[in-house]
């Protein structure tokens, strides 16, 4: 009887272990497959040249440039707003106030909104309402910003990545010991002076981590930019805020689903995916490294 119980125990334990194995295997297969097929084409020319011959030759530089420009703009928008919101939540909000609870609830739910709904929001609010409104008021109705462009796409992504930045910043703020704050007050600092001169400099690492994570997420999301400015092929690089742009993830999507000759574009496709993965993972890795270095330093002081 005991033998049978032990066997059942062993069986179920193995099943759970198998689940872990499955996950590890799945990730390895996906990454392995992409690296295997995409590695050959990954040359300097690939990342620096423009696409030719209907996306079967050349490089994907415009998509890389577009992605960089997109997340840069997004960062400019999301970091100040996210840091400010985190500072409010942690430093200014009265303990247990209803507003704090509502803000946190809003953040939590913001994080769960489907990406395509963000796309609809970007179209309905940014492109049509804000952009259309600006056109009517400042440009007497001509089409200047009331169209899909890199400005609105980056702002849409900024709203999407806001929770990431706020959470990371709050974690950093929480790690600043009370003794530093009290010392600053005792030396005659006002609340903002204390935050600016003591708390924020100490939190820079965590804020940076949050920003990097946001960038990594923003570089990978395609649904929000489908209708807010991404384009498949443009003969120019986005130079103005109301330009459209090429983007790595969007490129993968279109190339996968709409390219006429799948076999011919396959190599470029794989390499593009590899570039996207390298960017996303590289940033993630960097952020994790930064975060563990910060945590280690805090544990020793």
Partner 1 sequence: MPIIDILGFSVWYGGQRVLRDVTLDVRKGEILGIIGPAGAGKTSFLRSLNRLNDLVPGFRTEGAIKYHGVNLYRERIDVPTLRRRLGMVFATPAPLPASIYDNLVFGPRLMGRMKDLDTRIERCLRAAYLWDEVKDRLSLLAPSLSGGQQQRLCLARTLMLEPEALLLDEPCSGLDPISTAKVEEALTLLKAEVSVVLVTNNVMQSSRVADRTAFFLDGRMVECGPTRDLFVNPKEKMTLEYISGRFG
Partner 2 sequence: MDPHVSELLRRGERRWGERAIEVAIHSSAFIVVAALVLIFVFVAKEAVPMVTSPEVHEEVTIRSMVEPLPNGKFSWQPVSNVPKYSLLPLLVGTLKVTFVALFIALPIAIGAAVFTSEFAPQWAREFIKPVVELLAGIPSVVIGFFAIMVLATWVQDATGCIVRLNAITAGIGLSLAVIPIVYTVAEDALSAVPQAFRDGSRALGANPWQTAWGVVLPAAKPGVFAACVLGFGRAIGETMIVLMSSGNAATTSIDPRESLRTFSATIAAELGEVVHGSPHYHVLFFLGVVLFAVTFVSNLAGHWYVNRLRGKLRGRPASPKPVVAEARP
**Which of 62, 66, 206, 220 touches partner 2 by CB under 8 A?**
220
**Which residues, other chains included, contact 41 with Cβ-Cβ below 8 Å and sequence gap of 6+?**
267, 268, 270, 271
Closest approach of Cβ 180 to partner 2, in Å?
A: 19
According to the binding rule CB under 8 A, does residue 184 interact with partner 1? Answer: yes
- The verdict on 199 binding partner 2 (CB under 8 A) reads no
Kindly identify the residues of this chain, within the stretch 73-112, that bind partner 1 according to CB under 8 A.
Answer: 95
Q: Which is nearer to partner 1, 97 or 109 (CB)?
A: 97
What is the CB-side half-sphere exposure of residue 295 using CA atoms within 13 A?
A: 9
Place of tokens 């928008």: 77
Q: Identify the bridge partners of residue 230 per DSSP, sorted by sequence position.
A: 245
Q: Which of 70, 77, 87, 231 forms a contact with partner 2 (CB under 8 A)?
A: 87
Tokens of 75: 């960062």
Phi and psi angles of residue 226, each rounded to the nearest 5 degrees, phi first: -55, -40
Which of the residues 232 through 251 are near partner 2 (CB under 8 A)?
249
How far does the chain reach from its first CA to its final CA, in angstroms? 55
Say if CB 245 and CB 234 are below 8 A apart.
yes
Of 265-294, binders to partner 2 (CB under 8 A) are 269, 273, 276-277, 280-281, 284, 287-288
- Token pair of 258, please? 């709409």
Closest approach, Cβ 102 to partner 1, in A, equals 20
106 CB-near residues (< 8 Å, 6+ apart): none
Q: How far is CA 111 from the centre of its chain?
A: 12
For 130: left if phi > 0, alpha if psi spans -120 to 50, otherwise beta; the answer is alpha
| Site track for partner 1 across 193-212, x = CB under 8 A | x---xx---x----------
Which of 74, 159, 199, 208 is the binder for partner 2 (CB under 8 A)?
A: 159
Choose the binding region for partner 1 from 31-39, 85-93, 190-198, 235-243 (rule: CB under 8 A): 190-198
Q: Which is nearer to partner 2, 202 or 256 (CB)?
A: 256
Q: What gap in Å lies between CA 114 and CA 127, rounded to an integer?
A: 19
Phi, psi of 108, deg, nearest 5: -60, -40
Stretch 47-76 residues interacting with partner 2 (CB under 8 A): none
Q: Quick one: which of 129, 130, 117, 122 has its CA closest to 154?
A: 122
Residue 211 binds which of partner 1, partner 2, none (CB < 5-8 A, kind-dependent): none
Q: Indicate whether 301 belongs to the interface with partner 1 (CB under 8 A).
A: yes
Contact string 8-47 vs partner 2 (x = CB under 8 A) = xxx-xx-xxxxxx-xxx-xx--x--xx-------------
Per CB under 8 A, the segment of 40-48, 61-69, 165-173, 176-184 that binds partner 1 is 176-184
Would you tell me which residues interact with partner 1 (CB under 8 A)?
95, 179-180, 182-190, 193, 197-198, 202, 301
């Amino acid at each position: 009887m005991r033998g049978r119980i032990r066997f059942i125990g062993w069986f179920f334990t193995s099943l759970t272990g198998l689940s872990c194995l499955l996950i590890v295997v799945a990730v390895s297969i996906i990454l392995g497959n992409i690296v295997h097929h995409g590695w050959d084409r990954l040359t300097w020319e690939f990342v620096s040249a423009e696409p030719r011959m209907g996306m079967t030759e050349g490089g994907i530089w415009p998509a890389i440039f577009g992605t960089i420009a997109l997340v840069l703009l997004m960062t400019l928008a999301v970091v100040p707003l996210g840091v400010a919101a985190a500072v409010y939540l942690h430093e200014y909000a009265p303990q247990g106030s209803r507003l704090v609870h509502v803000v946190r609830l809003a953040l939590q739910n913001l994080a769960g909104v489907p990406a395509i709904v963000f796309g609809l929001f970007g179209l309905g609010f940014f492109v049509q309402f804000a952009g259309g409104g600006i056109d009517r008021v400042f440009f007497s109705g001509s089409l200047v910003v009331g169209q899909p462009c890199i400005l609105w796409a980056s702002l849409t992504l900024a709203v999407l990545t806001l929770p990431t930045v706020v959470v990371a910043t709050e974690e950093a703020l929480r790690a600043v010991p009370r003794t530093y704050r009290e010392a600053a007050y005792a030396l005659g600092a006002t609340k903002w002076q204390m935050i600016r001169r003591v708390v924020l400099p100490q939190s820079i690492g965590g804020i940076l981590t949050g920003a990097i994570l946001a960038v990594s997420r923003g570089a990978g999301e395609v649904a929000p930019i489908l209708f807010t400015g991404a384009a498949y092929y443009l003969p120019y690089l986005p130079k103005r805020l109301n330009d459209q742009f090429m983007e790595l993830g969007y490129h993968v999507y279109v190339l996968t689903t709409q390219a006429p000759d799948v076999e011919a574009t396959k190599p470029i496709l794989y390499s593009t995916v590899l570039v996207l993965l390298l960017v996303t993972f590289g940033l993630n890795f960097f952020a994790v490294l930064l975060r563990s270095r910060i945590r280690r330093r805090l544990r020793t002081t």
